[in-house]
Amino acid sequence: MDTNQYIPYQVRIADIIDEAPLVRTYRLEFTDPTANFTFKAGQFAEYGVFGEGESTFCIASSPTREGYLECTFRSSGRVTKALANCEINDIIGLRGPFGKAFPIEEWYGKDIVFITGGIGLPPLRCVIWNVLDQREKFGKVSIYYGARTVADLVYKEELDNWKKRDDVDLFLTVDPGGETKDWKDNVGFVPTIIEQNLPSSTNAIAIVAGPPILIKMSMPILAKCGFANDKIFTTLENRMKCGVGKCGHCTVGKTYVCKDGPVFTYEEVLQMPQEY
Amino acid sequence: MELKLLSTSDIAVFVDGLLKAGKVVVAPVLKQSGKVFFKPVQSFAEVATDYIQTAFSAKEVVFPKVEELFTYQHNEDGSLDIKDQLDRIPETVVWGLRPCDAAGFDYLNQFFLKENPDVYFKARYDKTTLVTVSCSKCDESCFCTSVDSHPGDTKGSDILLTAMDGKCYVEVITDNGLALINSAKELFTSTDTLSKEAFLAKPATHFSMDEIKDKIQYAYASAEWKHASMGCYSCGACAFACPTCTCFDIQDEGTQDHGKRVRCWDACGMSQFTKHASGHNPRNTQTERRRQRLMHKFKYSVENLGVVSCVGCGRCIRVCPSHLNIFENILSVMN
Amino acid sequence: MQDKAAELLKNGTVNLLIGFSEDLGKRPVPCFIETAEEANILVFNQECKNNLSVYLHKKEVKDAVKIGLVSNIATLRSVMQLLSENQLWSLTITYLTVNTAGALVVLSSAEELEAYVQANFPTCRAEDKEMLDKLNAMTRAERWAYWKDQLSECVKCYACRAVCPMCYCTVCTTECNQPQWIKTSAETSGNFEYHTMRAMHLGGRCINCGECGRICPAGIPVHLLTAQMNLEIEQEFGGKTGWSLKSEYAMNSFKPGDKENFIK
C-alpha cells in the first residue's frame, strides 16, 4: 500500500524561541509516539497551519538529536504569519522528510567550510549540529556567518557556544552600520571577511547557503582558494507546494528542487537553466 | 490482444448495458455552446458522435479540476481528525476517447505512478477503463503523427474501436478491456483480420521525433522565443485543456478549526506560478513561461520519464484565444 | 492596410504593429510585426474579433513605445476607455481601422480617435440583446439555475480576465492570499465569487466587446454578466463606456442627483 504523501503528521509546538525580528524557531514533537520519522541533514518538510496552508522550510535540527525536530522561519506571507501566531502546545501539520540530503558520510576526514548569512544559517545548522555531534570524524570546521545587524543574527546563544569551542573557527560579522556599541566581532560583508581569512581548499568541502547575492560573491573567492565546483555544495530554494515532485512549481529545467534537491553541488547548479 | 467485431447498432446496447450494471460512463456530450465535453451520461442517446475533438480532455476522470485531499476537524484536546475519501471512487468507463487522449492517459500513468506514486491518481486510474474510438476525421490543429502516434494507435487504451460501414473493429488490448467485453459477450463476434487503414484520418506530419531528439537541445537559447510568445495572454486555457498537463496548487478551504485541503489545477503560464514569498519571480516574463511549457513537453519530460509529454491533440491551439501554435513554435525555436 | 502598415514601420512612426494574420486553419490570429517587409501577412475582415488593445499592457509592447494598432470598433472603444483611465500615457499609438464602407481609416491622435468612435458608436449586438432579454425575462430562480449550470463548467483558467483590456491590475484580487478573497479552486460557489467580483470591477468600464465570452474554453457566455452590469449602470447613472476621453466612472463618483432606486 503506497503512502499518502499529502496527509500530514500532527506535531506539537514544544518550545518557541524568538531569534531575530520576525524570525522564530519552533521545537516540534510528534503527537503520535509510533510516528517513525527519520530524516537526514539537508532534507526539508512542509509545515502547515490547517486552514491557512503549508510553507516549506528545511529541518534545522539534526537527526543526531532525537525526540524532536526544529524549524526556523521568517514571517513573510500568509502561512508564516499564521505560524508565527501559534503558541506552545498548539498542533500543526508536518509533511516530510523530502528531498536529498547532504552527503555527510562522504565528508569524513575532510575540512568543512560553512558560508552563510542572515536567514541562511538554519538550513546549514542541521549540518553543523550533525558535524559537531560527531566532531572527531571531521577535520577543521570553519563557519563564516553574518547578518545585516546584530539583532538579525539567528541562534545567538549557539553562536556564543561555537565561539567558545576551540575546535571551531567562527568568523562572525555584521554589515557596516549594523554593529552595536558593544559589538566585539567583525564588521563587513561576509565575502569581505572570507577574503581576510581565506579557507584552504586542500581536502575540504564548502557549503554555501543564503541570499543570492552572498552566493554570487562567495563563489569567485572559493574558486580562488582552489575549491572545485563539485566540492562546493548549496541548498536551493524555490516556490514549493507538494514537496514530492508532482505539482510543478519548483522546477528548474528538468530538475525538481524538491525531489532532486534541495542540496546540489555548484557544478550541478551551473548546468541548470538559470531560472531559480 | 483479441480482435472482435461489433455492429454499429449494438454500440448503444453495449453502453446502456454498462450503465445498467452500475458503472459510471463518461462520454463526449454536445453542449449548447456547440462545444463537446466529456461528461457522465445516463444513456447512450446523450453521446455526441459527429465532432473532431472535445474542448477539454478527459483527464478530469483521473485528475479532477478540484480534488479533496482530506478533511480536518479539531478536537477538544487540540489534535485533529484527518480523513480522506479514497475508498469512495466508483468504477468508471471513459467512452469515446481519441487515440491521442489515450496516449495522454498513458503519460499521466507514468508521471503520477513511476516515482513517488500518487495515491489519489492511482485510486481513480485503477477503477477506470478506457474505450477509445479511432479518428476518421482530423483538422489542421491535429498533429499526432508528429509525436509518434496516429489516428488508430492503441497506446494507453483498454479497447480501441474503429468504425467501418455498419460495424466496428474492436481491438481488446488489456485484461480490463476484456472484462468489459465479456460483460456483454453476446454482442461481439470474433475475427482475425484487421484492416483499419482505410478508415483512419490522415493528419499532416510537421516534424519527427528524431528531429526533436536531435535539435531540442539548442532550443532553450533560441532568439525566437520572444516572437513565439508575444501573443500569449498568460491564462491557463492551454494547460487546462491539455490531456497531459499535471501542475496543481494546494489550498486549504475552511477555518483553522475545520475544513478541507484540496488540490486544484494550476498552469505554468500564469504570471504568479513561480513567484516566491519574497517577491522574486524566476520566470518573470511571458517569454520565459512559454519557453518553460514547450521545453517541458519536448525535452524535460523526455529526460525525466523517457517520453515526450505532448500527444498532438491540438487542443491548446484550439482553445488559445490567439491560437498560438505549439508545433509551429517548436519548429521555429529548433531551427 | 498592408501598404499603410509598411509605410508607418518604414518611416519610424511605428516601431511595433499589432494586427492580424492568418494561421494554418485560416483563422485570423494576433500578429506582431516590426519591419515593413512583414506587412504582407496582415489581414482584416469580420472574423478579426480579438480585442488587440489588451496587448497594450504587455511589457514588450510598452517598451516599443510607438505602436500601430489594427482595430475594429470594439478595440477603439476599449482604447478610449483606457485613455480615460490614464493607462496609455507612455505610448504613442496610430490606429488602423476599416469603416463600414470598407475604406481604410488611419487615426493618429486621441482627438481623432474620439471623433471617429463617437461618429461610429456601435449598438448592442443582436445576439447578446436576445440572450439578455431572455435572461431578464426569467424568474430569479430560473436565472440562478441557468448561471449555476453554466458556472459549474468554469475551470478558472482566467482566459476571460487575460483577454480583457480593462483587467490590467498587476496583482488581481484572485491572486491575493492575505486574505484569500476568492478561492482558487474551480468549484461552483468559488466560480460564482470570481465572476461576480469581475462583473463588479468592470461595472461602468466594460465596453462589451464580448471577447471574454467568445474565447471561454468552456463555452460560458460570461460577457453577458458584464453586459448586464453595464446596462444597469447606464440606466441608473447615465454615461457611456468607451465614449469620451474624460472618465466619468460611476463607481467612484457621486452626484447629488444620483438615483437610489436599488435601495428597496
Least confident of A90-104, B30-44, B208-222, C245-259: C245-259
Question: Would you call C189 an interface residue with chain B, using a CB distance cutoff of 8 Å?
Answer: no
Question: Would you call A33 an interface residue with chain B, using a CB distance cutoff of 8 Å?
Answer: no
Size (chain A), residues: 276
CA distance C178 to chain A (A): 6
Calpha distance A152→A174 (Å, rounded): 9
Please report which confidence band the pLDDT of residue A212 belongs to, taking 50, 70 and 90 as the band edges: confident
Question: Would you call B51 an interface residue with chain A, using a CB distance cutoff of 8 Å?
Answer: no
Question: Contact B69/B263 with Cβ under 8 angstroms?
Answer: yes
Mutation target among C185, C189, C222 for the B interface, most CBs of B within 10 A: C185
pLDDT for C254 equals: 84
Least confident of A167-176, A218-227, C176-185: C176-185
Mean pLDDT of chain C: 93
Buried b (16+ CB within 10 A) or exposed e, C55-69: bbbbeebeebebbbb
B257 with A52: Cβ contact below 8 A = no
Buried b (16+ CB within 10 A) or exposed e, A161-194: ebeeeeebbbbbbbbeebbeeeeebbebbbbbbb
Calpha distance C15→C63 (Å, rounded): 10
Chain B: residue whose CA lies nearest to A259:
B116
Scan residues 211-250 of C and list those with Cβ closer than 8 Å to B. Answer: 211, 215, 217-221
Question: Would you call A241 an interface residue with chain C, using a CB distance cutoff of 8 Å?
Answer: no
Mutation target among B138, B139, B235 for the C interface, most CBs of C within 10 A: B235
Mean pLDDT of chain B: 94
Q: Say whether B85 sits in a helix, a strand or coil.
A: coil
C177 with A77: Cβ contact below 8 A = yes
Phi, psi of B294 (to 5 degrees): -70, -40
CA distance B92 to chain C (A): 20
From chain A, the residues in CB contact with C178 under 8 A are 77-78, 81
Closest Cβ–Cβ partner in B120, B256, B296 for A51: B256
Cα B134-B122-C188 angle, rounded to 5 deg:
80
Q: What is the pLDDT of residues A147-161, one digit of tens each?
A: 999 999 999 999 999
From chain C, the residues in CB contact with B56 under 8 A are 155, 217-218
- Locate C32 and state its grid cell: 506582431
From chain C, the residues in CB contact with B328 under 8 A are 24
Query: Which residues, at least 6 apart from B49, have a Cβ–Cβ distance to it below 8 Å?
Result: B28, B96
| Other beta carbons less than 10 A from residue A21's beta carbon | 10
CA distance C17 to chain B (A): 12
Calpha distance B314→B325 (Å, rounded): 8
Q: What is the pLDDT of residues A247-269, one digit of tens each?
A: 999 999 999 999 999 999 999 99
Mutation target among A1, A3, A4, A119 for the B interface, most CBs of B within 10 A: A4
B255 with A276: Cβ contact below 8 A = no
| Other beta carbons less than 10 A from residue A156's beta carbon | 12
pTM exceeds cut of 0.90: yes
Question: Would you call A76 an interface residue with chain C, using a CB distance cutoff of 8 Å?
Answer: no
B321 with C211: Cβ contact below 8 A = yes
- In chain B, the percentage of residues whose pLDDT exceeds 70 is 100
Provide mean pLDDT across the span C145-171.
95
Question: Would you call A226 an interface residue with chain C, using a CB distance cutoff of 8 Å?
Answer: no
From chain C, the residues in CB contact with B270 under 8 A are 158
B265 with C215: Cβ contact below 8 A = no
Question: Contact B201/B163 with Cβ under 8 angstroms?
Answer: no
Q: Would you give the distance in Å from CA A169 to the centre of its chain?
A: 19
Q: What is the pLDDT of residues A70-83, one digit of tens each?
A: 999 999 999 999 99
Strands C92-98 and C104-107, how do they pair?
A: antiparallel
Its domain, for residue B161, covers 2-334
- Locate A3 and state its grid cell: 503512502
Q: Would you give the distance in Å from CA A137 to the centre of its chain?
A: 21
Name residue A210's amino acid: G
pLDDT for A275 equals: 84
A81 with C177: Cβ contact below 8 A = no
Closest Cβ–Cβ partner in B248, B275, B299 for A239: B275
Chain A: residue whose CA lies nearest to C179:
A78
Chain C: residue whose CA lies nearest to A80:
C178
Strands B2-7 and B188-190, how do they pair?
A: antiparallel
- Locate B119 and state its grid cell: 495515491
pLDDT for C263 equals: 76
How many structural domains does chain B have?
A: 1
Gyration radius (Cα) of chain A, Å: 18
Question: Would you call A185 an interface residue with chain B, using a CB distance cutoff of 8 Å?
Answer: no
Mutation target among A49, A76, A78, A241 for the C interface, most CBs of C within 10 A: A78
Question: Would you call C168 an interface residue with chain B, using a CB distance cutoff of 8 Å?
Answer: no
CA distance A54 to chain C (A): 13
CA distance A4 to chain C (A): 21
Mutation target among C16, C20, C24 for the B interface, most CBs of B within 10 A: C24
Please report which confidence band the pLDDT of residue C9 belongs to, taking 50, 70 and 90 as the band edges: very high
Q: What is the pLDDT of residues C44-100, one digit of tens each?
A: 999 999 999 999 999 999 999 999 999 999 999 999 999 999 999 999 999 999 998
Closest Cβ–Cβ partner in B80, B122, B282 for A2: B122
Which chains neighbour B (Cβ–Cβ under 8 Å, 3 or more pairs)? A, C
Query: A10-19, B268-277, C117-126: which has the highest mean pLDDT?
Result: A10-19
pLDDT for B335 equals: 84
Handedness of CA B55, B57, B60, B61 (dihedral sign): positive
| Other beta carbons less than 10 A from residue A213's beta carbon | 12
Q: What is the ipTM of this complex?
A: 0.92
In chain C, what are the domain boundaries? 2-119, 126-252
From chain C, the residues in CB contact with B286 under 8 A are 58
Scan residues 100-129 of A and list those with Cβ closer than 8 Å to B. Answer: none
Question: Contact A146/A78 with Cβ under 8 angstroms?
Answer: no
DSSP letters for C171-193: S-GGG-BTTB-S-SS--HHHHHH
pLDDT for A213 equals: 86
From chain B, the residues in CB contact with C60 under 8 A are 226, 230, 285, 287
CA distance A41 to chain C (A): 32
From chain B, the residues in CB contact with A213 under 8 A are none
Closest Cβ–Cβ partner in A8, A77, A91 for B79: A91
pLDDT > 80? residue C11: yes
pLDDT for C71 equals: 95
C180 with A78: Cβ contact below 8 A = yes
**Interface size between A and C, measured as CB pairs under 8 A:** 8
Q: What is the pLDDT of residues B76-130, one digit of tens each?
A: 988 899 999 888 899 999 999 999 999 999 999 999 999 999 999 999 999 999 9
Strands B36-41 and B188-190, how do they pair?
A: unpaired
Calpha distance A261→A180 (Å, rounded): 38
Give the Å distances, CA to CA, from B290 to B226, B313, B333.
9, 18, 12
Question: Would you call B275 an interface residue with chain A, using a CB distance cutoff of 8 Å?
Answer: yes
pLDDT > 90? residue C239: no
Phi, psi of C188 (to 5 degrees): -50, -45
pLDDT for A1 equals: 67
Give the Å distances, CA to CA, from A130 to A104, A105, A207, B56, C54.
8, 11, 14, 51, 55
Mutation target among C176, C177, C183 for the A interface, most CBs of A within 10 A: C177
Scan residues 148-167 of C and list those with Cβ closer than 8 Å to B. Answer: 153, 155-159, 161-163
Give the helix ranges, DSSP H, for chain C.
2-10, 59-64, 73-84, 110-119, 126-137, 140-151, 159-163, 188-202, 211-215, 223-237
Question: Contact B291/B299 with Cβ under 8 angstroms?
Answer: no
SS (H, E, C) chain A: CCCCCCCCEEEEEEEEEEEECCEEEEEEEECCCCCCCCCCCCCEEEEEECCCEEEEEECCCCCCCCCCEEEEEECCCHHHHHHHCCCCCCEEEEEEEECECCCHHHHCCCEEEEEEEHHHHHHHHHHHHHHHCCHHHCCCEEEEEEECCHHHCCCHHHHHHHHHCCCCEEEEEECCCCCCCCCCCEECCHHHHHHHCCCCCCCEEEEEECCHHHHHHHHHHHHHCCCCHHHEEEECCCCCCCCCCCCCCCEECCEECCCCCEEEEHHHHHHCCCCC
